[in-house]
Structure 1
């Protein structure tokens, strides 16, 4: 029964992983949007991903699949195709749905539609929103988010080395960023830098082709290979004051951006988990060993049931997280617990799923190897497992266990 005591509707086409019928919590209109994303990913995106993953490329054809949809900017009042903006529950389930097919593609979309878009939506003035966001909402322009540095990941809040110096009506940026998704081709890159005068972190929209801005693709990745991550060098990059995001006044505002996106990564981790489980379930029913499907073996069923338990528990956790967001009582430690717990369970499920495939589990043709590899990146990005643990630990004990106890 739902909170209002009305029975959940029965879904004839529910996912195999949706054991508790969580999708039935969506309204009919919301579920139509979710199914539109499911169809896009299954019919338009999935045929492209293995070749793109093997080549470590993001083909323009794949980006065009999203440009032709109406799934962009759904969570933003005044910009998406569906107004008012959709609920956090639907937004999360769409992220989950995309990762159910491929985590790289979902990451590309999330960097543009989440980190990049939200930075300007939350951090920009109304004039800046009106200037940058309409073209981003249609994906005519692609966005990126440049926070992490070569020598600063989890500690970037206190150790940011990229600097910004005011020079009349412009700012001069110098430094470097690393692991910046979409940055090799993005039209707008939101770059964070420390003001040399007041020591506060500020944010700047750096446009493609700006002199001194040099993104170089990171090669040799074993996960999220479709995502075009870049290491960026900034050498006397001049950005007008009009492109400094006016509402980003320190790292506290940056933390607000990360709080929202961290919950989005938890939904993505759930999608990776579901995608791997569904592949393993189908394979177990079809693979014959000793004269019968391996689904009849007790140890295979044990792996499948443990996987389904993880999925069901994590999905329920994220549904409540979305409710907290919709109610406006969502906190940093809420997001951190979700990201820490769900990403760890994802690691378990992809390993069990790959195990069910035996030797075939390391072949790209069977898809599960892609999920297995990509889970490692999802486990680490948007804050490592250990950092999320310390955030939640401080919240529940009242004591900081960060290095030096300073956070």
Structure 2
């Protein structure tokens, strides 16, 4: 980057992740990966910087998703890494976590698309579907030939959706009829397969269904006016007498505990995405502190600026350590609800702090999209809220501490 005129605004921020000399992984957690895994990450990072980074801000500003990138992204073979699927290599959760980090390091909206498709939608079928259903849908989802979405949240049910699910499933002959509405459903405007969670009117069980694109009675309307994750295509869904064959009912989903199995794993993904976003703004802040001149010298030479950078790096380091341990516990098969909840709530809280400090360091330039912080400043609010608010995740942790539920 060309050095600025002393005291003048920096003429455009760096592409997130572009500074090779900024090391945000000071404890070398990446060193836990083997050579094959690091090579895959290097290919992913190069692709993201060459293809996603140049268009991400423009798509974010226009609230449009970069569909044109999906064929190239599919060729990287990073979708559905932890799932044991026929004919495809199974990778560990640690590598999958670093993949989420790298994507979010360039664009949190694209990372949200990835998390919904590879985590929530594929995860629902993998954990709650039969062997036949896995074989029917997951290979095409892994290659991005079919895109997935996950419909749980409702207009009247967010944090209390476990006990207040209003969408209903009624048995009708050899199939089911779904009625209700969903809200905030990522990918749903263009998804081929939408996992819908509904309450069985016969016995109150929470069941999962795969609704295929074009099914009569199903509509998805893009939500407008979002100020965070603008490229992510969130939708309002209406299910009006949607007929689904029993073959599309997830055979291993019989209660909200099964739904929560999916959420337990994907909360870890939000932690990884939070770390990626923190690293993005930290890299921008370090470069800005080096290039921005005030009072005759770079602002990085002032104590208060260095303090902000040190606090940002501490948040990244602590959060990355939590995310790494989450992945290890998942790979070992001993991961618990409270661990995912603690990681999600802690990492997104630190993200909020970190993007705030980065915006502070950049001054007025911190609110301009061109400088690489404003987008993450807004996006942090979405990561902080979805997959369970801080308060709800705190109550999950609190229940594990005391043995007492305090949700109502």
Sort the TM-score into its range (normalised by shorter chain): over 0.9
Corresponding residue of 2:74: 67
Aligned pairs, number: 389
> Residue 35 in 1 paired to residue 42 in 2?
yes
> Residue 56 in 1 paired to residue 58 in 2?
no
Higher relative contact order (CA 8 A, sep 6+): 2
| Closer, same or farther: CA 184–115 of 1 in aligned 2, 3 Å | same
Corresponding residue of 2:189: 184
> Residue 401 in 1 paired to residue 406 in 2?
yes
Cα deviation for residue 63 of structure 1 reads 2.4
CA contact (8 A) 2:253 2:259 kept: yes
Q: Which runs of 5+ in 2 are unaligned?
A: 1-19
Corresponding residue of 2:342: 337
Q: Which segment is superposed worse, 119-128 or 61-70?
A: 61-70
Runs of 4+ in 1 over 6 A off after TM superposition: none
Partner SS for 1:150: coil
Cα deviation for residue 59 of structure 1 reads 2.7
Corresponding residue of 2:108: 103
CA contact (8 A) 1:188 1:206 kept: yes
Match of 2:158 among 153, 162, 177: 153
Corresponding residue of 1:5: none
Corresponding residue of 2:27: 20
1:257-268 alignment runs, 5 A limit = 257-268=262-273
Match of 2:251 among 246, 249, 266: 246
Instruction: Give me the whole-angstrom Cα distance separating, in 1, the residues matched to 2:58 and 2:235.
Output: 21
Cα deviation for residue 69 of structure 1 reads 2.2
CA contact (8 A) 1:79 1:137 kept: no
Instruction: Give me the whole-angstrom Cα distance separating, in 2, the residues matched to 1:15 and 1:23.
Output: 15
Match of 1:87 among 87, 92, 96: 92
Corresponding residue of 1:353: 358
Instruction: Give me the whole-angstrom Cα distance separating, in 2, the residues matched to 1:230 and 1:29.
Output: 38
TM-score by length of 1: 0.94
Q: Which runs of 5+ in 1 are unaligned?
A: 1-12
What root-mean-square deviation, in Å, do the aligned CA atoms of Structure 1 and Structure 2 show? 1.2
Match of 2:396 among 372, 382, 391: 391
Instruction: Give me the whole-angstrom Cα distance separating, in 1, the residues matched to 2:352 and 2:258.
Output: 31
TM-score by length of 2: 0.93
Question: Over residues 141-200 of structure 1, what are the superposed CA-to-partner deviations in whole Å (9 max), with x where a residue is unaligned?
Answer: 100000000000010010000000000111000000000000001000000100000100
| Closer, same or farther: CA 357–222 of 1 in aligned 2, 3 Å | same
> Residue 326 in 1 paired to residue 322 in 2?
no
Cα deviation for residue 297 of structure 1 reads 0.9
Q: Which segment is superposed worse, 316-325 or 277-286?
A: 316-325
